[in-house]
Chain A
């Protein structure tokens, strides 16, 4: 069942046509991998889904992205509301220079906690602590940090920092989480931990992951989309894309003859 439907998405950075007529839909509770050579528009694409490109002066986005039945690029939509519902994890771990606890508690603190009736209210200290513990457990970090929640996030290793960033994103209770090359700054062991976590998260969340590591795409994703110079070349079940790609460009890329 599709949760995100993208229709005729075009992105321009001034003269540069960075994404060209992209149309695709992403399934709920699945992992979709975005692959392609450097500069093909992977980051641009994923940043359209939570309207992060709105921050870049001179960036123009056209087309529709329908999430849960409503177009997030409709005129009356506040991008801040979109970002409250879609989590994002970046290429380099970017925890705030605050304590581990403060990092995870930040979003629930400013947004309040969502109640059963859909409204949100200010979180009590207790509820904040619960949310922080829940998020850290969900990000498989709790056991490693439970005794030092007050310590600076920068005392953690790179892999732990990245899982902290995942916990921080989970604390907003999103339905969708976007990952932009989350492992490119990590060593293989930390990478494996994140990959396990991704597969575990799939039960409850819809995951979109940009990666330049094709083995990673093959290992974790259900579907894979291949981009080349701003165009969606091929999109389908991951095994098919890797074993029997239908387009020559895709085959060249995954067999390593390009990129």
Chain B
């Protein structure tokens, strides 16, 4: 085979791979859409799950799980964003380039790979029982925050590293302190990158099942009124639906709920894209 042919062959191979990726995505999303959209109705969004005659929760809607998931996402935002972003910037600006800094980042990178069930175990052992949070919204939210913290930290680190050091020097040379330099320059200039990490993390938190299963989600819990209450959540609801014997109705509900979860995540990403473009326009170098 000559060089031209070989190149053509590899090029076609790449083309096939790209096609597989695109097809897989279209098939999955299309399948969920076709099967789920039929369930969407006012009732679906405004009613709690109700049992049918056999006691399976396939009637009603998904109000409780939807609200629970939104609460979880909001709490994770409140907990994980400040801790993750500031922690990362602190490590980068104060320990960057030192041995302690390198060891710490190695730990963070490894934490990003820890399976979610292990975080769940940690959450139930440490938060729920040892620290007496009980099975609760807050225990689940803290567990999910720990789970996504490495994601936010790594994304923040990369965004901060992308800010040219000449801008950092300019600020320091004008007599700004490190903290002023971070607040007035580094953070604003790296916002678009940090946002990407945040959205990824929140989406991940909203979709996780294992950690919340161990730390506070409950079948038919009412909408939580306090941090110590138990709650429902979309991924857990979907899981429950696949476990009932009444397949036809349950699967339809599961697809409807999955579509909601996907819509939430796509919506978050759209918000992120808009904010990112705005920041990129504002701070360009």
Contacts and interface: CB of A to CB of B under 8 A. Distances in A.
Contact of A80 (B170, B175, B185): B175
A107 B170 contact: no
Contacts of A92: 166
Contact of A172 (B171, B172, B175, B282): B175
Contacts of A168: 170, 174
Interface in A168-182: 168-169, 172
Interface string B86-114: 00000000001110000000000000000
A169 B174 contact: yes
Interface stretch (A18-26, A50-58, A66-74, A128-136): A50-58
Nearest to B99: A57
Interface stretch (B176-184, B199-207, B216-224): B176-184
Interface stretch (A32-40, A82-90, A139-147): A82-90
Nearest to B163: A97
B97 A57 contact: yes
Contact of A83 (B97, B164, B175, B282): B175
B161 to A, nearest CB: 15
Contact of B172 (A55, A57, A98, A111): A55
Contact of A50 (B164, B173, B189): B173
Contact of B185 (A96, A107, A169): A96
Interface string A90-122: 101011111000000011001100000000000
A169 B176 CA distance: 12
A96 B175 contact: no
Given A80-B175, A172-B175, A94 B170 contact: yes
B15 interface: no
Contacts of A169: 173-174
Contacts of A154: 284-285
Interface residues of A, number: 28
B277 to A, nearest CB: 15
A155 B174 CA distance: 22
B167 interface: yes
Interface string B261-285: 0000000000000000000001111
Interface string B153-175: 00000000000101101111111
A157 to B, nearest CB: 15
B177 A80 contact: yes
A110 B184 contact: yes
A171 to B, nearest CB: 8
Given A110-B184, A169-B174, A94 B166 contact: yes
Contacts of A80: 175-177
A152 interface: yes
A96 B166 contact: no
Interface of B: 96-98, 164, 166-167, 169-177, 180, 184-185, 189, 282-285
27 contacts: A52-B169, A52-B172, A80-B175, A80-B176, A80-B177, A83-B174, A85-B175, A90-B170, A90-B173, A94-B164, A94-B166, A94-B167, A96-B170, A96-B171, A97-B282, A106-B174, A106-B176, A107-B174, A107-B175, A110-B174, A110-B175, A110-B176, A110-B184, A154-B285, A169-B174, A172-B174, A172-B175
Given A96-B170, A172-B175, 17 more contacts: A52-B169, A52-B173, A55-B172, A80-B177, A84-B174, A90-B169, A90-B173, A96-B171, A96-B185, A106-B171, A106-B176, A107-B174, A107-B175, A110-B174, A154-B284, A168-B174, A169-B173
The 3 residue pairs across chains A and B that have the minimum distance between CB atoms:
A84-B175, A94-B166, A88-B173
